[in-house]
């Protein structure tokens, strides 16, 4: 990663707000700083404001309040075509009446570049996405994945420093999507460009990004590296939104030695890591990842939090087993275990004991 | 799978060729579908296709001379009109007999009228002759050559007999020649005298004015269609109502309204005079001429241009223009290089629609066109309603139809009819 060493932000949102109708805010007080060369993903459910943020950065929407700075300069009043930001659209937006080569040549033509330079750059861009032989075709003659590559090449051909991508892989099938995820990150790091990537697919966000900004309700709920985001969600929205999670509601009894004792609905008291709770009596939602729970006696550590459970369902999924349990009155408690030679295979109705490490169980906001 | 590698035709499970089985399976569906639309097809055939065919047929049909004057036509076969001599007595006798029968059956005026289209004066010639011929005795009253010339000196002129001979065949190209300002003579087709040439001018004027109307519809309609496709839903709906409003008003009312607006004592002239832009003595002449027709027809046909363009523009995602801008294009470049080319199918559809409607328009030119602003369709109507020369009307109509089809074909060759979208 070619992180900027000066520490100055390349892209900066400074207290940005956006309203379409003057009554509700779609983006509420957005603050974000991105160093040069970073691959940042805006992740969130639809209507969370992530696409609006991207459009403000591209210049297609104006911020109602606040500043957007690019390389230290406010770009609020710069029209989109002067911003020099590359963009890949959701449906690629390849011009259907032009050939692939003409599509790629377009940004160079409007920059009044000479013909030979243009041809040279178009050729290089096509080779970069391994589509060298397709210059003479029309977009409609290409498959979805090929169109995706062309859209990428077109956004990069005029060598922008910042590239925006608006759910670029949404229309592809799973296999192709995974391949393209890899290619895009590879290309971005190789060229050292800064990328803002919008998606609602969390796997995409986790696998591709240097940092992920989780959007909900017009705010960034958490901005962190993928592993941090997954393992240390700061609130229950992030915990629920990223990956699968078991949640149980309860009340904090006491906090001591860096652990919160939480009394669950069923009366059980468990030890959790306090994240959004600070004093006894507070309502909380505890969350624990399915893969951090063990039911094999040999694997449960001594210091683990142990609870009784009843097996409701045992699903064999090949690489993992997915077990649905009833734990503390919760029928939807999921445990995922690796399919290892020494792993137990459970039957519905079995009474077992499960355990997890207290620091894996996070007491979040209710 | 083994069958597909074989060169033999694919067989279905019972051993019959797959294509045959498929055809049988689909036949029942096809028959049912056909039965469902049969009433419509029959209606269209009886009420639309048949009348058109019969009307087109009238443009070449010419059996009236041969059926009314059969002996004369037979006798004229041997006469060579180029010798410059009148036909012999046998022809005159045959004609006398024919005209007597025709007079008794009261069909002589029809033949007279038919031939009058070709040579004026023949109608009265036939009337007069028939009146006299009724009293003749075919056995005793001959020879008829002097007798007929005596009745009307027209029978002593070679032209009369030439006209009769030229137009005696069952089918004629005469109407089509008339339709392009020519006429059929014994020496082959020749142009009408200059004072009778109006139809070619009318065809030309119809074409040129239709093009001007299509062009101005495009000019006015394009921005409106763009607004319709790009405004927020509520404003777009309001605008759509304004566009469709003319459809809910009678064509006659709208055309008459233009009469009120455009006439010399009308609203526009009054305003201009009051503003001092035009002096009272030099009020603009905007009605009963080309301007009147162009203004009124542009207004009336505008929705037909806007709607197809709108439906095409609606399918152009805003992301194309955004993409163009993000790639560095200014608004103008983005429009001309990216948006406009994609709206061309709509322009094509709208233009074809407006042009074809305009080229056959009748009511509006009739009301506001005066003499300088009328179209070929007004002439067709004249021949259908007033002069009753249906053959010529049919020929004019056929030419108009063929002209439109040729234009349509040319358009298909140049732009491609697949590129025309009326919606979706």
Q: Which helix (H) or strand (E) holds B185?
A: strand B182-185
Give the end-to-end CA distance of chain B in Å, rounded to a whole number: 39
Task: Tell me what ipTM this predicted complex has.
Answer: 0.81
Q: Give the pairing type, strands A194-199 and A211-216.
A: unpaired
pLDDT band for position B7 (cuts 50, 70, 90): low
**Cβ atoms of residues A198 and A183 within 8 Å:** no
Of residues B168 and B141, the one with the higher pLDDT is B168
Structure tokens at A234: 């700061």
Burial B238-249 (b: 16+ CB within 10 A, else e): ebbeebeebeee
In chain B, where are the structural domains located? 2-58, 64-196, 199-419
Would an 8 Å CB–CB cutoff place A330 in contact with chain B?
A: no
Reduce the DSSP state of residue B414 to 3 states and report it.
helix
**Cβ atoms of residues B7 and B14 within 8 Å:** no
Q: Which residues of B touch A87 (CB under 8 A)?
A: 322-323, 326
The CA-CA-CA angle for residues A155, A157, A159, to 5°, reads 90
Q: Give the pairing type, strands A211-216 and A73-74.
A: unpaired
Nearest CB neighbour to A91, from listed B319, B333, B342:
B319
> Under an 8 A CB cutoff, do B323 and A107 touch?
no
Q: In which region does residue A217 sit, left (phi positive, over 0), alpha (psi from -120 to 50) or beta (all else)?
A: left
Q: Which pTM value belongs to this model?
A: 0.77
Nearest CB neighbour to B328, from listed A93, A110, A164:
A110
pLDDT at B235: 92
**Cβ atoms of residues B144 and B96 within 8 Å:** yes
Residue of chain B whose alpha carbon sits nearest to that of A96: B342
pLDDT at B135: 82
Q: Give span(s): CATH 3.40.50.300, chain A.
A: 11-236
pLDDT band for position B419 (cuts 50, 70, 90): low
CA of B410 vs chain A CAs: smallest distance (Å): 22
Of residues A62 and B371, the one with the higher pLDDT is A62
Lowest mean pLDDT across A151-155, B100-104, B218-222: B100-104
Select the residue from B312, B319, B323, B331 to test the A interface by mutation, using most A Cβ atoms within 10 A: B323
Q: Which residues of A touch B319 (CB under 8 A)?
A: 89-91, 93
**Cβ atoms of residues B239 and B303 within 8 Å:** no
Answer yes or no: is pLDDT of B152 > 70: yes
Mean pLDDT of A304-321: 91
Answer yes or no: is pLDDT of A106 > 70: yes
Among residues of chain A, what percentage have pLDDT more than 70?
Answer: 98
- Rounded to whole angstroms, the Cα distance separating B367 from A340 reads 92
Q: Going along chain A, which residue ranges are E strands? A: 11-18, 27-34, 39-43, 65-70, 73-74, 86-88, 162-166, 194-199, 211-216, 219-224, 246-256, 259-264, 269-274, 283-288, 305-316, 320-327, 330-338, 351-356, 362-365
Nearest CA to A69 out of A130, A6, A8 is that of A8
Mean pLDDT of B413-424: 64
- Rounded to whole angstroms, the Cα distance separating B390 from B117 reads 11
Q: Which CATH class is domain A11-236?
A: alpha beta
> Under an 8 A CB cutoff, do A80 and B325 touch?
yes
pLDDT band for position A2 (cuts 50, 70, 90): very low
Model pLDDT for residues A228-250, shown as the tens digit of each residue: 999 889 888 999 898 888 988 99
pLDDT band for position A4 (cuts 50, 70, 90): very low
Nearest CA to B181 out of B401, B384, B379, B348 is that of B379
Nearest CA to B326 out of A140, A190, A309, A95 is that of A95
- Rounded to whole angstroms, the Cα distance separating B292 from B296 reads 6
Answer yes or no: is pLDDT of B199 > 70: yes
Burial (0-12, 13-18, 19+ Cβ within 10 Å), A352: middle
pLDDT at B157: 85
pLDDT at B2: 45
Model pLDDT for residues A267-298, shown as the tens digit of each residue: 888 989 888 888 888 899 999 999 999 888 88
pLDDT at B420: 62
pLDDT band for position B421 (cuts 50, 70, 90): low
pLDDT at B16: 79
Mean pLDDT of A25-44: 92
Model pLDDT for residues A168-217, shown as the tens digit of each residue: 988 888 888 888 899 999 999 999 999 999 998 888 999 999 999 999 99
| CATH no. of A248-365 | 2.40.50.100
Fold of B199-419: MetI-like fold (1.10.3720)
pLDDT at A311: 94
Nearest CB neighbour to A80, from listed B326, B337, B342:
B326
Mean pLDDT of chain B: 86
Answer yes or no: is pLDDT of B369 > 50: yes
Mean pLDDT of A128-154: 91
Reduce the DSSP state of residue B390 to 3 states and report it.
helix
- Rounded to whole angstroms, the Cα distance separating B365 from B300 reads 12
- Rounded to whole angstroms, the Cα distance separating B284 from B287 reads 9
pLDDT at A268: 86
Lowest mean pLDDT across A339-343, A353-357, B140-144, B293-297: B140-144
pLDDT band for position B4 (cuts 50, 70, 90): very low
- Rounded to whole angstroms, the Cα distance separating A294 from A305 reads 10
Would an 8 Å CB–CB cutoff place A89 in contact with chain B?
A: yes
Q: Centre a 10 Å sphere on the Cβ of residue A204 and count the other Cβ atoms it contains.
A: 23
Answer yes or no: is pLDDT of A53 > 90: yes
Structure tokens at A125: 């861009």
Answer yes or no: is pLDDT of B1 > 60: no
Q: Centre a 10 Å sphere on the Cβ of residue B181 and count the other Cβ atoms it contains.
A: 18
Q: Which residues of A touch B327 (CB under 8 A)?
A: 81, 86, 106-107, 110, 154-155, 158
- Rounded to whole angstroms, the Cα distance separating B64 from B73 reads 11
Answer yes or no: is pLDDT of A157 > 60: yes
Answer yes or no: is pLDDT of B379 > 60: yes
**Cβ atoms of residues A179 and A205 within 8 Å:** no
Structure tokens at A359: 């620091």
Model pLDDT for residues B95-151, shown as the tens digit of each residue: 888 888 888 888 888 888 888 888 888 888 888 888 888 888 877 777 888 888 888
Would an 8 Å CB–CB cutoff place A80 in contact with chain B?
A: yes
pLDDT band for position A39 (cuts 50, 70, 90): very high
Q: Give span(s): CATH 2.40.50.100, chain A.
A: 248-365
């Amino acid at each position: 990663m070619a992180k900027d060493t000066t520490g100055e932000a390349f892209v900066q949102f400074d207290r940005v707000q956006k309203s379409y109708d003057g009554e509700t805010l779609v983006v509420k007080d957005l603050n974000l700083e991105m160093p040069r060369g970073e691959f940042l993903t805006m992740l969130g459910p639809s209507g969370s404001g992530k696409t609006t943020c991207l459009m403000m950065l591209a210049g297609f929407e104006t911020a109602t309040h606040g500043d957007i700075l690019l390389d230290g300069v406010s770009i609020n009043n710069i029209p989109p075509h002067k911003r020099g930001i590359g963009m890949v659209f959701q449906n690629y937006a390849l011009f259907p009446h032009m050939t692939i080569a003409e599509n790629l040549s377009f940004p160079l033509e409007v920059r009044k570049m000479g013909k030979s330079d243009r041809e040279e750059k178009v050729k290089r861009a096509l080779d970069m996405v391994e589509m060298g032989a397709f210059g003479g075709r029309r977009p409609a003659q290409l498959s979805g994945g090929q169109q995706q590559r062309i859209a990428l090449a077109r956004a990069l051909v005029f060598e922008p420093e910042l590239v925006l991508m608006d759910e670029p892989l949404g229309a592809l099938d799973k296999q192709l999507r995974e391949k393209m995820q890899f290619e895009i990150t590879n290309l971005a790091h190789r060229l050292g460009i800064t990328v803002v990537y919008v998606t609602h697919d969390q796997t995409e966000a986790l696998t591709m990004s240097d940092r992920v900004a989780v959007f909900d309700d017009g705010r960034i709920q958490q901005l962190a590296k993928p592993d941090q985001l997954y393992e240390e969600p700061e609130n229950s929205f992030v915990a629920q939104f990223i990956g699968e999670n078991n949640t149980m509601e309860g009340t904090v009894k006491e906090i001591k030695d860096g652990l919160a004792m939480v009394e669950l609905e069923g009366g059980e008291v468990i030890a959790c890591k306090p994240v959004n709770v600070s004093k006894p009596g507070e309502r909380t939602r505890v969350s624990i990842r399915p893969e951090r729970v063990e039911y094999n006696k040999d694997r449960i550590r001594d210091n683990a939090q142990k609870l009784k459970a009843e097996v409701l369902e045992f699903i064999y999924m090949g690489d993992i087993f997915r077990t649905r349990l009833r734990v503390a009155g919760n029928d939807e408690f999921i445990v995922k275990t690796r399919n290892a030679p020494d792993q137990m295979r459970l039957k519905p109705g079995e009474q077992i004991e499960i355990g997890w490490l207290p620091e894996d169980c996070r007491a979040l906001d209710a | 799978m083994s069958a597909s590698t074989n060169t033999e035709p694919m067989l279905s499970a019972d051993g019959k060729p797959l294509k045959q089985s498929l055809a049988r399976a689909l036949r029942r569906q096809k028959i049912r579908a056909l039965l469902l639309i049969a009433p419509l097809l029959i209606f269209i055939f009886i009420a639309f296709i048949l009348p058109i065919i019969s009307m087109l047929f009238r443009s070449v049909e010419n059996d009236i001379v041969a059926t009314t004057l059969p002996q004369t036509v037979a006798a004229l076969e041997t006469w060579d009109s180029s010798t410059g001599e009148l036909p012999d007595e046998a022809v005159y006798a045959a004609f006398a007999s024919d005209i007597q029968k025709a007079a008794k059956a009261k069909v002589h005026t029809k033949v007279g009228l038919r031939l009058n289209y070709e040579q004026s004066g023949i109608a009265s010639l036939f009337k007069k002759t028939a009146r006299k011929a009724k009293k003749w005795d075919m056995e005793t009253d001959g020879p008829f050559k002097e007798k007929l010339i005596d009745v009307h000196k027209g029978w002593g002129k070679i032209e009369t007999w030439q006209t009769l001979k030229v137009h005696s065949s069952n089918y004629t190209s005469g109407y089509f020649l008339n339709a392009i300002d020519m006429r059929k003579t014994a020496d082959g087709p020749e142009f009408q005298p200059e004072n009778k040439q109006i139809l070619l001018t009318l065809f030309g004027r119809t074409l040129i004015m239709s093009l001007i109307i299509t062009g101005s519809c495009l000019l006015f309609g394009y921005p409106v269609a763009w607004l319709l496709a790009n405004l927020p839903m509520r404003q777009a709906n309001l605008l759509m109502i304004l566009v469709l409003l003319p459809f809910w008003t009678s064509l006659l009312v709208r055309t008459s309204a233009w009469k009120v607006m455009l006439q010399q004592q009308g609203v526009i002239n009054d305003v201009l005079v009051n503003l001092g832009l035009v002096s009272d003595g030099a009020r603009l002449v905007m009605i009963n001429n080309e301007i009147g027709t162009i203004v009124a027809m542009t207004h009336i046909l505008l929705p037909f241009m806007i709607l197809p363009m709108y439906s095409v523009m609606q399918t152009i995602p805003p992301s194309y223009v955004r993409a163009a801008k993000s790639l560095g294009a200014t608004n103008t470049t983005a429009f001309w290089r990216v948006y406009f080319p994609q709206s061309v199918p709509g322009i094509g559809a709208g233009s074809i629609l407006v042009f074809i409607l305009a080229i056959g328009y009748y009511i509006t030119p009739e009301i506001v066109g005066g003499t300088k602003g009328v179209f070929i369709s007004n002439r067709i109507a004249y021949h259908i309603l007033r002069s009753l020369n249906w053959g010529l009307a049919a020929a004019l109509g056929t030419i108009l139809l063929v002209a439109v089809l040729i234009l349509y074909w040319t358009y298909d060759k140049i732009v491609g009819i697949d590129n025309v979208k009326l919606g979706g």
